């Protein structure tokens, strides 16, 4: 690699001081330079291919134009397609604003791994956190210290900034659909262990939906999987073995739904004739599974984009209309639900 080009080199080549270079390149408004000097500087910078050293810039300006993306559980990354969608949305917005993304995934298990060092070493200006856990005390501290942070999901903290999908309306719709098809015994396979806010939220939404139709969600009708299709398969086997009367299952997300369908078939049940399945997220492949998955759509790309936009607004000191955005998810009716067997 060739020697670095500094603003000093540009100054020398243009025959001006380093200050002049800096001012010309950064502040187009300060019109206190003659057009010809200005031109000479720009030319010299272009000739040398000058790119300011970001470390020096960070040091003096105090911000890094980088946002951290923290994924609450490392395991989710490798098996679920939700995260990359959010990443896609974030990346899009960031690129437009000249921001960068630093990725940090935390180990699984309670209290494992922190991201304080990212914050305290000033490596990032703000944070987007995916899928927060209810018991994340470090996160609460950060929020209360006013560190710029946007949640994808929610912590139900009064001071949080977040982009969150409400599952209630569309879950209600899905329940209506199933109830109208004659289903009375509905189960759930959550996508993660208890403790994740989204897990509890989806469970509660389902419970309320069922109660509204005179049904209920017994504890025995719920199993917790662990992010992967494989874990969904295992959980479903356990669930259907314990409660063979169940005729419809809400999967915590679409990846889990793959496991649910596979387990049903392994137990000799056809989908949807013998077991109806509802997914969650509407990942891009959901419409192309067999049968095409009926699922509750959360636009993950949009969620990521909105989170990034909100965070950048906060960082740039712009006013943010709503700090807790609640999006409505949408039921996508496809082929994985049918009339209850009798």
How far apart are the C-alpha atoms of 208 and 216, rounded to whole Å?
Answer: 8
Are the C-beta atoms of 31 and 45 separated by less than 8 Å?
A: no
Examine residue 315 and tell whether it contacts a second copy (CB under 8 A).
no
Examine residue 4 and tell whether it contacts a second copy (CB under 8 A).
yes
List phi, psi (to 5°) of 136. Answer: -85, 95
Nearest to 87 by CA among 107, 64, 67: 67
Are the C-beta atoms of 130 and 104 separated by less than 8 Å?
A: no
Task: Give 123 or 213: the residue with its C-beta nearer to a second copy.
Answer: 123
Task: Give 6 or 108: the residue with its C-beta nearer to DNA.
Answer: 6
Among 12, 42, 48, 52, binds DNA (CB under 7 A): 52
Stretch that binds a second copy, among 9-17, 94-102, 128-136, 202-210 (CB under 8 A): 94-102
Among 8, 141, 265, 323, binds a second copy (CB under 8 A): 265
Q: Which residues pair with 162 in a beta bridge?
A: 151, 324
How far apart are the C-alpha atoms of 46 and 63, rounded to whole Å?
Answer: 26
Examine residue 141 and tell whether it contacts DNA (CB under 7 A).
no
- Could you say which residues in the range 210-239 bind a second copy, by CB under 8 A? 228-230, 232-233
Residue with structure tokens 């009064």? 158
Examine residue 280 and tell whether it contacts a second copy (CB under 8 A).
no
Residues near 147 by beta carbon (within 8 Å), at least 6 away in sequence? 119, 126, 127
Task: Give 41 or 149: the residue with its C-beta nearer to a second copy.
Answer: 149
- Could you say which residues in the range 123-162 bind a second copy, by CB under 8 A? 123, 145-147
Token readout for 294 is 């009926």
Between the CA atoms of 193, 108, 87 and 66, what dihedral angle is there, to the nearest 10 degrees? Answer: 140
How far apart are the C-alpha atoms of 254 and 21, rounded to whole Å?
Answer: 54
* Binding flags for DNA, 226-265, as an x/- string (CB under 7 A): ----------------------------------------
Q: Which residues pair with 105 in a beta bridge?
A: 71
DSSP 18: H
Three-class SS state of 330: strand
Among 138, 218, 287, 333, binds a second copy (CB under 8 A): 287
Neighbours of 181 (CB within 10 A): 15
Examine residue 16 and tell whether it contacts DNA (CB under 7 A).
yes
Examine residue 2 and tell whether it contacts DNA (CB under 7 A).
no
Three-class SS state of 70: strand
Among 121, 214, 316, 321, binds a second copy (CB under 8 A): 121
Stretch that binds a second copy, among 28-36, 120-128, 199-207, 315-323 (CB under 8 A): 120-128
Stretch that binds a second copy, among 38-46, 206-214, 244-252, 254-262 (CB under 8 A): 254-262
Residue with structure tokens 């970001």? 54
Are the C-beta atoms of 295 and 257 separated by less than 8 Å?
A: yes
Taking the complex as a whole, how short is the minimal distance between the CB of residue 41 and DNA, in angstroms?
9
Are the C-beta atoms of 67 and 43 separated by less than 8 Å?
A: no
Stretch that binds DNA, among 2-10, 82-90, 299-307, 330-338 (CB under 7 A): 2-10
Taking the complex as a whole, how short is the minimal distance between the CB of residue 216 and a second copy, in angstroms?
29
Instruction: Look at the chain and count its residues.
Output: 342
Task: Please report, as ranges, the residues that interact with DNA according to CB under 7 A.
Answer: 4, 6-8, 16-20, 22-23, 25-27, 32-34, 37, 50, 52-53, 56-57, 59-61
Task: Please report, as ranges, the residues that interact with a second copy according to CB under 8 A.
Answer: 1-2, 4, 49, 51-56, 58-59, 64, 66, 69, 74, 77-81, 83-85, 87-88, 91-92, 100-105, 117-118, 120-123, 145-147, 228-230, 232-233, 255, 258-259, 261-262, 265, 284-285, 287-290, 292, 301
């Amino acid at each position: 690699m060739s020697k670095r080009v500094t603003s000093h080199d540009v100054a020398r080549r243009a025959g001006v001081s380093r200050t002049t270079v800096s001012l010309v390149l950064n502040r187009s408004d300060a019109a206190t330079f003659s057009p010809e000097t200005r031109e000479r500087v720009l030319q010299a910078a272009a000739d040398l291919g000058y790119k300011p050293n970001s470390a020096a810039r960070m040091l003096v300006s105090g911000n890094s134009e980088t946002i951290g993306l923290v994924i609450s559980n490392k395991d989710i990354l490798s098996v679920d397609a939700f995260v990359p969608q959010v990443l896609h949305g974030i990346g899009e917005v960031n690129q437009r604003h000249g921001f960068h993304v630093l990725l940090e995934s935390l180990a699984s298990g309670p209290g494992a791994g922190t991201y304080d060092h990212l914050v305290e070493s000033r490596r990032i200006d703000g944070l987007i956190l995916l899928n927060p856990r209810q018991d994340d005390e470090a996160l609460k501290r950060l929020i209360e210290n006013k560190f710029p942070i946007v949640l994808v999901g929610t912590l139900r903290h009064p001071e949080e900034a977040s982009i969150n999908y409400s599952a209630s309306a569309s879950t209600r719709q899905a329940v209506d659909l199933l109830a109208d098809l004659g289903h009375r015994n509905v189960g759930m396979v959550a996508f993660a262990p208890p403790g994740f806010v989204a897990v509890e939220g989806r469970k509660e939404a389902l419970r309320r939906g069922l109660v509204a139709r005179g049904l209920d969600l017994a504890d025995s009708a719920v199993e917790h999987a662990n992010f992967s299709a494989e874990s969904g398969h295992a959980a479903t086997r356990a669930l259907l073995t314990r409660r063979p009367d169940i005729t419809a299952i809400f999967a915590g997300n679409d990846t889990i739904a793959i496991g649910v369908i596979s387990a049903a078939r392994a137990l000799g049940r056809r989908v949807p004739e013998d077991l109806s399945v509802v997914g969650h997220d509407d990942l891009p492949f959901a419409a192309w599974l067999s049968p095409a998955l009926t699922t509750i759509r959360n636009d993950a790309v949009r969620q990521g984009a909105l989170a990034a936009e909100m965070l950048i607004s906060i960082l740039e000191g712009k006013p943010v209309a709503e700090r807790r955005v609640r999006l409505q998810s949408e039921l996508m009716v496809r082929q994985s639900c049918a009339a209850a067997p009798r």
